[in-house]
Each structure stands twice: as C-alpha cells, then as structure tokens.
Structure 1
C-alpha cells in the first residue's frame, strides 16, 4: 500500500520530504478511514489548495493538519448520510460544564483547546461585548468562512531558541485557574519606553513634486557620502576617475547601473562615479576576475582594479559596505545631526537594555473573500492570551489590492473602514490589556486610505482617545523600545532586490544564504531602499526627504515584510582582514503576511535580551 500511495503522490506532481515517515502515516490514514491511495491523494490535493502551501512538497509537519482535514471530511460524509446526527466536540462539553447557552459564548475564531485559555478568551470577548465593540460594523455572525474552516491554528513554522524559558512559544501554556489569569491581566509586565527617531515627514505633507534635480542630488549625495566614509576608514585611498585609461591599479567609488532596460548581466554592468571625480561619467565594469559578488542597480560600491583602455574597468576587488565606525550619519548636515543626537540623548534611559517581548505582523489583515478582518481578530486574541505588551502592525491595513476594494463595492469610505474596523479592534485590545500595552502602526503604499508616496508619512491618529498607547510611525521608520533599536519598512524591497540582483557564488562551493544576502544589502548600503531605478509601482519621491531612507546606524532589529518566504535571520556586518573592526549583528525579520488569499498566513513572536545570541523567535502560522 505504501508503494501505491507513493506512486499516486508522484503521479499528481508531489514529492515526499520525509518519505518513510509520511508513507507510514498515510498508510495508517487509509486503514483507519477505509480510503484507497487515490482517494487519500485527492484529499491531500484539496488540503494543499485550501492551505495555499508554497511548494508541491509533502512534509511530515503538515500531516497533523491533514489528519484534521480527513476527520472533517469523514464528519461531513456522516452528516450527509444522517442529517439529524450531531457530532459533539470539546466546545459542546465546555458549554455544558460551564452551563452556558450556545448564543452566549461566541468566542473569536481560533480559540485554543486549553481550558484556562478558553476561560481567558471568553472573558476578553465578553468584555468586548460589554463595550459594544466586538465588531464595529455589526457583522459578528455565525458565518463560517474558508478562514474559519481551516484545520491548523497557531502552528510554529520556524523557531530559534537561544534562551532557557519555562514558557513555550507555540501557544501552549501550563494550566492555571481563572483567578490567577485575572491577576496576570490586571498586573501585566511593565510598559516599554518607546523613543521615535526624528521624523522627516509630517502627515499631510505635499508630494508629487519630484524633479530631476532632486533625484540627481539624492544619488550624487549617496555616492559622495559612501566615498567619504571609505576614505575616512583609512583602509582605502582617495577615489579617482574610473573612466580614465590607466595601467596601474586604481580605486573608484560609484553606483552600479544597467546598460539598457533589461536585467543586469555580466555584459551590461556600468559604474557611474560622482560628478566630483568623473563628471558623472559611466564606464563598463567587468567582474570576471572576482570569485564571488552580488550587485544590483543603485548599489554604491568601491572598486579596486585597472582600466587599460579607458573603456572598461576590470575589477580585482569589490567593496559593497561601509566600515561600521564610519557609517553613522555621514549624510546629515551638522545642524540636523546635532539636533538628532540631542533628541535621542534627551530620551535615553540610564538602565541597560532590558528584555523585550513583542509580536510582529504585516498586512493584509483580512482574507480576499471578505472584509471581516478575521486574521487580525485572531492575532489580537493570541496577543491577549500571551499578555504581549508591544505589538507591531505593518500595513497594508486597507489593501488596495483586495478584490472588494478594487471593485469599489464597499459602502464605507476607506478611512471609515480603517477606523471602524482596524483601529476599533486595536482600541478594544488596548482597553482590555491596560495602560501599559502599546501598539506601533506603520503604513504601506498599498493602503487605500493613505498617501501613495514613498517615503510615506505616518497615519494621522489625533482623534483617538488612547493615542498615547498607539505610536504611528513613518514608512520607513526607526524607533527604540527600551534601548532596542528597531527599523521598519513596508515596501517589499526584498522581493524587488531578488528580481534585480546579479550574483556569483564562491568557487569553493560554500553555500550562500540568499535571504540573508538580500537583507544584508539593506544594511551594507545604509538605505531602506537602495535599488535604483525603483521597481514598478513604487512611488519613490526624492523631493520629500531622501534622509528618511537612510539608516544612520545598524539597528538591533530590522523588520522587512515581504511576499517571499518568511524568515528570521541574524546578519553580521563589519570585520576586516586587519581585525580592526568588530562584527555587528542585526536580527532581520520577514514576518510574512498575516492573510494569504482565503487562508491565514504567518506572524512573528520574539523575545530579545540585548543581543541576537540571547533571543527566542517563533514564526507562527495562523
């Protein structure tokens, strides 16, 4: 039977990751539910499509969810044969034991089976009902959506565990009575001290005034500042004009460009130097002598090499990052730099960095089938259960790509949907958690209710009663939570770099982590969006504040939500052959999307204690 099952999977285009274990379990499923191998694989195809799995690989980790899917199919088959038959579940048992009517116990979708957590969530939901805010539009209903039918809830997709902890991070807790739970809620952890770095953009600022001069100045300043930092490090000589013929080795600094409108290839790489050194001239760049490299349009690099003919610079060394000790704030005018230093210094706290625990989620926050924002409800329920004091929500919130938004079939304005649905839920969460809980909100260029420009001003949240608990950040933006520096950008720069990058791996066969490499480009270029020209659909406006894109110093956490596969990576920067620099580590995080199509996506739960070597991180599928 196992051979037949394997043959059916292969026939349907699936491969098996842990073949022996998967086939053993599938054989048990066939025997227990009287299924033929072909029927089993057909059920797997339905489960695969409903869950919107990324690749056609059958994994052992998905077997538990597949078992639940098979059980649901069996129940539906029995109900069809005997319509009057009721299949009891743990929800019925809890309802009877607690002597509650069916209509009085409507919990948020995805309630966990742990009894203490059920009591906790019932209390949270009853508090929402008392306030009349459980669903602002009055659409709380018993409608069973595809999202509500999913079998896997709060499944750990990836986990990094560098801290000894008594509490697991997959949503399972030890049993505790309701009284202890209420005390835990009334006396939560202390609030985090949030410090927002200087905002270059204000809500309502003017845009669409981008001029060629603005673009030229922004790119020229990037090249000049990069060159100044490399020379100041003492490791490199003063750059010269790379387009002048020279038989000796030279050092030049410039921006990678493409000779044409297509993607970069080894024959179309150009280096554009600064006006100061070469009048902005471009020269063809040859990288054939390099064992490994990774370049993309808009990347500012230092090149050691020679140009014997004056038409082609043959590189012998490529420097793609600025030494750490000379990278901070080189692009700011003295007055602005002093003001920024004074602002941050005035809000510093004498204590050393403390442990912070936070949840990070990126939109869309509702499925494509409706605007009920069910994934957001479950995320807030999970955060409530874990007593999370810091929640970072990254747009889009009102996704311009949502079918109902694109068709214009929504009765309310986009701003009303944002305030009545999203902000109302966040307010309910904060009202329940108490005054110490805090939420950081970052917009996206895909938000239909906000300015379509990048860099992007923060949401205007002035009318909110609890504005002091909600921090609205620019996109991109940097803030500190108890001296832990966190950078965020909702434009999908990782996906854009992935489509434009040209790289060569080392000849020694050392494997290259592509996701880490993409994230490291952001840090090494000291820019939230180093790609130029920008990807199609990115409203990059240099007339606003190009300083807003700069990363003055390497943050502790860098949050870059993307459509590519979720990850939590520790990226190391710095370090030289002379050993003059120490390595700087940054935790780069792509939480994925909270909603994918008609199903749930992923979010990140993180506990950080001052360094990447002392943290716990989990990517949790909702």
Structure 2
C-alpha cells in the first residue's frame, strides 16, 4: 500500500517533500479511515485546492489534513445514520495567502473582539419549555443559537459590512421597523440576455449525432477565431507525419475511461482538417500548462513519426468580444420591464449593488429555512438593488427529502418556504427591489437536465420584481452583464485537470471558463451532471464577456478580478468572478457575497460574509 500511495501522488503530479514520513502517516490514515490510496489522494487534492497550495505535499500539513479526514468521516456517518444528530456548528478558517493581497482577518460585530466556534452538544433549557430567544424548545436549532450573525470572511477592495449589526439584531422584530426602513435609491434596469431552453421543453432526446455536431462546432468556431486574429495560420491535420513545425486545433480527450492523465493525452482535430482523427500529445517541452477533457486548444509543434505531436506551445485563449453582436441582441435579449426603460440607454448608470447567495438554503437537520430568513433580513437592512439566489432551493440531497417522509409535494414546499418568504421581502422593500432566481440540477421540484429551463412560478403580480432565468443564464442590470451557472463546474474541473507549473489553481480553473467561452466546457460531463447537448447547446456558450461571473462551488469561497487579453492589441479586459459558497453547510452556517459594482471591476468592492 505504501507503493500505491506514492504512485497515486505521482500520478496526480504531487511532489512529496519528506517522503517517508508523509507515506507512513498516509498509510495510517488509510487504515484508520478505511480509505484506498486513490481516495486518500483525492481528499488531499481537495484539501490543497481549498488552501490554494502548490503541488507540494509537506509534512507540516498532515495534522490539518487528518482533521479534514475526520470531518469527512463524521459527515459520512451522519448521512448514513439518519437518526444520529451531532449538534456542532463548524466553520473552517483558511490561513492561506490570497494572491489579491495580504491575508484578511475576519472581524467581529461591534462590541465583540473574538470569533468563537460554538459547540452545541445539548439544547439549553431556560424558563421551562421555552428558550431564552422566546422560541419553543423544539424549534430552537444549533443554527439559531449562533452568537455572531454576520462576520466578514474576506474582502475585495473595501466595503463597510458589519456596521451597527448589534443594533440591527436588537431591532430585528421592532414594531416601527417598517416606518424606519429606507428603500433602495433607484430601481435597476433588467434585460435577460439568454433565455434558452424554454420552460416545458422536452429533453432526454439527445442523439450521438447531436453531441458530435455540438463538439465539432466548438472546434470549428475556435479555429476560425484563431485564424481571424491573424496571429496563427490555417490549422492542418496533426496526425500526419511532418518534419516541419505545424499548427493544429483540436479538443483534449482521454485515451481511456477515467480521469485525464498526462500520459497519454489525446488531441482530437475537426472533421474538416483531419476527419476527426486523434493523435497523442507529448508535453515534455512545456514548462506550464493546464488541460482538461473537452478543452479546445491550439497546438504548435511537430509530428516527425506520425504517432506523437510534440507540443512547443499551447494556445488556450481567444479574445472574446466584450459587446454582444447585433444579431444576438435582437434574437436573444428580452427586456423584463420595457415600460421602465430609459429612452436613452446611456442614461442608465453602470453601478449596481448585489447580494449573491447559493443553496442549500436550509440546514440538514430541519426544513425551517433559517439561513434564507436571516439572509433576507440582512438584505432588508442593506437594501441592495438586486438579490441573486442560485439553487438548490429544495435540495434533493437533503436527508429529509431523501427519506421521502414529507407530507407535501416538493413544489408546495418551494412555494410555501421559499416563494412566500421572497414575496414578503419584495413587499417590504417596495417596488425598487428585484430578485433573480437561478435553478439547480439538485432542485427536487424542477427539471433534471442541463442546460436547465427557468422556474415557472406564475406570480403575475410580482413578475416585475421576481425574475427567473435559465441555468446557465446571463442578464444585464444597469448595463452590468452578469453570468450565472449553479452547476459546480469548478469542483468538477479540479478533479479532471492535468497541470504543470501552475501557481494559483483556483484562478486557473476560473480562467478556463472565460478562455473557453463556455459555462460548462468539460466533456464528457461529470456523472451527476445531466448534460443534454441537443436541448440548447448555445445556452452553454458565453457569447459576451460578463462583467460579473457567478459560479457557486463547494470549494473555497472567493471574489477575484481576472484579467484577460482583449480583441485589440495591448487591450486588457477584466471580469469579477464570484464563488459565494453555500448559504448552509450541513447543520452549520455558510457564506454569501455582497458586491457593489462601480463602472469597472477595479473600482468595485465586495465582501464574503459568513452568516
């Protein structure tokens, strides 16, 4: 097993510093936690990504890695034994160095100097059958017993978040709260840029021909874009032996089933250039690369024998136009509130305030949706112009839903627990407030397909305030383009990517989405992603570069400004990429993001907040 552990680490490009000590400890972990070497290395891969470590395994991280394995084992036991509940509110703090600047130390609300991790092993009894909060004991949960309600986890630039939170908590239920509230200063404009597939669409009818045509179309569009840039010549067949240097365009593929490995990596060219033939890639001459199955790239190199294309350069990015072309604007854009649109679009300010959160919206020990209620209470105080909520709302992975013991349908649960709260929120906030809902493939009450149609909520009186978009989807608010995708594509990419010489893996993973001009460039898809390429393949494509890209993931939450090469020489285009994390994690609290966009990403500010 020691040899297997060494082999698994090397297969995933990890370097062991103190090899013997690390292997011995990993062997102990495998025995104690009943893990195979491949499972152990997969857990280390996730651990290193969350802490933004390089591909070096050090003995100094083994104790913290053991704690993560213990947490994973505990969660697995809780999921297996539905009747077992351990009431512990666990929040993990990451002491990594962010590339955007120095480490940000979370701050506490006014009057409290320390951030505490509270353990609730038993429910305290106060005044007989009542808790000190005034709730009956059976309704008091570990989530409701938290002392620190909103704590800043990290920031981008500067934004005041935790001012007067103690005062907010004290006045949360005051009678004159409605009188003292301040409505958002101005209602934001809203246009839906992508609206496919339509609600009620038929799916599970995809054919091999549809998949082939979609992949072939991606390769051909990439080839034409590279040639149009006038930086590269017309691609040729990479499988033909040639002593001179050639340029080819194709898709990265696995030679066999399973995860992508550096040896061998295959390049599948287009039918037009090579009849769809595949050729092995030799990457030994490259000092830096990051590749995954389904990625379309340009390759410079030579193939002296006809069996291996020896790569000297990988081209994985084509400049994407910032503005939408006229045809796309006419066919795809849908004005949500035409009556309120200014006569001159230049009158719309390029400023936007958002609160962004992703499900699950309730903890695993109940279906009270307490995190959602507290998020809406926070939004009522901060008055954002736009509240963006991404599924899952009715999580099919929730223990109570898995058991099938509910006394109501999933749709009834969604309308009673989610829509009713959102209706109360917009009525309280007034006509200036807007809510965007993005579904998830984990939503038990919605279509299990990706790309996914929007919710059909049928709220005629609130359609101008609560807007449902597709997954993935893109919209424009106050001329700020926002792209959303609730599938955890970052985590899926992290398990399939093969890289060398990459310093910040999280930034690289996010850059792949922008460089491939796709919300989901991975192919074949992950097992739990019901990808249907015949439904609306154009829905997966980023036809324009968004100002804000929202990609919720189980990986570490972040807000980053990414820089990309523009269409003009020397031009630099920037995009704010946001992973808000999960609003609820197990029986504990999660994170969300508050973002203020001001004209450009560099002048914008954001905070990741622990609820």
Which interval holds the TM-score relative to the shorter structure? 0.7 to 0.9
Match of residue 242, structure 2, among 243, 246, 249 = 246
For 2:176 and 2:518, locate their aligned partners in 1 and report how far apart those are by CA, in whole Å. 47
Per the alignment, in what secondary structure is the counterpart of residue 51 of structure 1?
A: coil
The 5-angstrom pairing of residues 152-163 of structure 1 reads 152-162=148-158
For 1:517 and 1:377, locate their aligned partners in 2 and report how far apart those are by CA, in whole Å. 35
Match of residue 584, structure 2, among 592, 595, 616 = 595
| CA positional deviation for 1:324 | 3.1
Is the 8 Å Cα contact of residues 65 and 151 (structure 1) preserved in structure 2? no
Q: Taking structure 1 as reference, are residues 247 and 180 closer, same or farther at Cα in structure 2, changes over 3 Å only? A: farther
Is the 8 Å Cα contact of residues 229 and 326 (structure 1) preserved in structure 2? no
| CA positional deviation for 1:558 | 0.1
Please name the residue that 2:597 is paired with.
Answer: 608
For 1:354 and 1:55, locate their aligned partners in 2 and report how far apart those are by CA, in whole Å. 35
Q: Taking structure 1 as reference, are residues 265 and 591 closer, same or farther at Cα in structure 2, changes over 3 Å only? A: same
Please name the residue that 1:214 is paired with.
Answer: 210
Larger Rg: 1
| CA positional deviation for 1:467 | 1.6
Please name the residue that 2:315 is paired with.
Answer: 319
| CA positional deviation for 1:353 | 3.7
Q: Taking structure 1 as reference, are residues 328 and 198 closer, same or farther at Cα in structure 2, changes over 3 Å only? A: closer
Q: Taking structure 1 as reference, are residues 290 and 440 closer, same or farther at Cα in structure 2, changes over 3 Å only? A: same
For 1:455 and 1:88, locate their aligned partners in 2 and report how far apart those are by CA, in whole Å. 46
Q: Taking structure 1 as reference, are residues 410 and 88 closer, same or farther at Cα in structure 2, changes over 3 Å only? A: closer
1:50 aligns with 2:82: no
The 5-angstrom pairing of residues 219-230 of structure 1 reads 219-230=215-226
| CA positional deviation for 1:240 | 0.3
RMSD: 3.5
Per the alignment, in what secondary structure is the counterpart of residue 252 of structure 2?
A: strand
Per the alignment, in what secondary structure is the counterpart of residue 503 of structure 1?
A: strand
Match of residue 486, structure 2, among 490, 501, 525 = 490
Is the 8 Å Cα contact of residues 475 and 488 (structure 1) preserved in structure 2? yes
Match of residue 394, structure 2, among 398, 401, 408 = 398
For 1:341 and 1:383, locate their aligned partners in 2 and report how far apart those are by CA, in whole Å. 28
Is the 8 Å Cα contact of residues 297 and 531 (structure 1) preserved in structure 2? yes
Is the 8 Å Cα contact of residues 322 and 524 (structure 1) preserved in structure 2? yes
1:544 aligns with 2:544: no
TM (normalized to structure 2)? 0.76
For 1:342 and 1:373, locate their aligned partners in 2 and report how far apart those are by CA, in whole Å. 32
TM (normalized to structure 1)? 0.75
1:570 aligns with 2:608: no
Please name the residue that 1:203 is paired with.
Answer: 199
Q: Taking structure 1 as reference, are residues 187 and 299 closer, same or farther at Cα in structure 2, changes over 3 Å only? A: closer
For 1:267 and 1:256, locate their aligned partners in 2 and report how far apart those are by CA, in whole Å. 12
For 1:403 and 1:87, locate their aligned partners in 2 and report how far apart those are by CA, in whole Å. 27
Please name the residue that 2:71 is paired with.
Answer: none
Q: Taking structure 1 as reference, are residues 341 and 155 closer, same or farther at Cα in structure 2, changes over 3 Å only? A: closer
Is the 8 Å Cα contact of residues 324 and 581 (structure 1) preserved in structure 2? no
Please name the residue that 2:358 is paired with.
Answer: 362
Identify the range of structure 1 (293-302 vs 186-195) with the bigger mean alpha-carbon deviation.
186-195
Is the 8 Å Cα contact of residues 229 and 327 (structure 1) preserved in structure 2? no
Matched pairs, number:
509
Q: Which has the higher helix share?
A: 1
For 1:88 and 1:457, locate their aligned partners in 2 and report how far apart those are by CA, in whole Å. 43
| CA positional deviation for 1:385 | 1.1
Question: 5+ residue gaps in structure 1?
Answer: 1-16, 18-44, 92-101, 107-139, 507-511
Is the 8 Å Cα contact of residues 170 and 620 (structure 1) preserved in structure 2? no
Q: Taking structure 1 as reference, are residues 84 and 313 closer, same or farther at Cα in structure 2, changes over 3 Å only? A: closer
Per the alignment, in what secondary structure is the counterpart of residue 345 of structure 2?
A: coil
Please name the residue that 2:19 is paired with.
Answer: none
| CA positional deviation for 1:514 | 1.3
For 1:288 and 1:264, locate their aligned partners in 2 and report how far apart those are by CA, in whole Å. 16
Please name the residue that 1:339 is paired with.
Answer: 331
